[in-house]
Chain A
Amino acid sequence: AQSVSQHNHHVILSEAASLELGCNYSYGGTVNLFWYVQYPGQHLQLLLKYFSGDPLVKGIKGFEAEFIKSKFSFNLRKPSVQWSDTAEYFCAVNSGSQGNLIFGKGTKLSVKP
């Protein structure tokens, strides 16, 4: 069965620090990969996605992620975080044949001003 692991439960950074959130998935076939963000009290919002092609994908708000197939990883990065990035971040995967998403447990990011 597919599964998604997010390594960090809670990350605390100061503004302007660099961010990298780890995500690993288990599935042997073709996958689509996503990062969603959930700001306090708001709906899940798509940050970026990978379907195929260039393994380095850029999303909204300065976020990017790199798909490394050999490591089954899809880590999220941002060079310089802002206080407004405080939120919970979810990595998710689905296979080409199934629409439902498998989510990781999420990483809570707290950015200190």
Chain B
Amino acid sequence: ETGVTQSPTHLIKTRGQQVTLRCSSQSGHNTVSWYQQALGQGPQFIFQYYREEENGRGNFPPRFSGLQFPNYSSELNVNALELDDSALYLCASRGPDLAKNIQYFGAGTRLSVL
């Protein structure tokens, strides 16, 4: 168990819709990152939040956005869904000790866009 939980586990949407994925991190883990894992690929970094502010972003368009809340939960929002957004979305959290720099992953939300 990593202490990181994600919901829902599976989701089916149609092209053009909007989706919100949720993540709950361990208490004290004030850094959360989101990754997209397409079929047959490794996870790709979407963005990172630290103390409720985005402080790093990968090569994803602005229709991918996020929020982090004081209670160690966070959201990934995707607008105007495209077929290529179908993937496993992973949330990962880190504690305050950056020297350890270990990310703990949730089991993911599998999003299918039809």
Contact = CB atoms under 8 A, between A and B. Distances in A.
Interface string A37-55: 0000111111001010000
Interface of B: 2, 4, 31, 33, 35, 40-45, 48, 56, 58, 90, 92, 94, 98-99, 101-108
Nearest to B104: A46
B94 A99 contact: yes
Chain B at the A interface: mostly helix, strand, loop or mixed?
Answer: loop
B41 A106 contact: yes
A98 interface: yes
Chain A at the B interface: mostly helix, strand, loop or mixed?
Answer: strand
A50 B15 CA distance: 42
Given A98-B56, A101-B103, A105-B40, A43 B108 contact: yes
Given A44-B90, A103-B44, A106-B41, A51 B101 contact: yes
Contact of B98 (A4, A49, A99, A102): A99
B33 A100 contact: yes
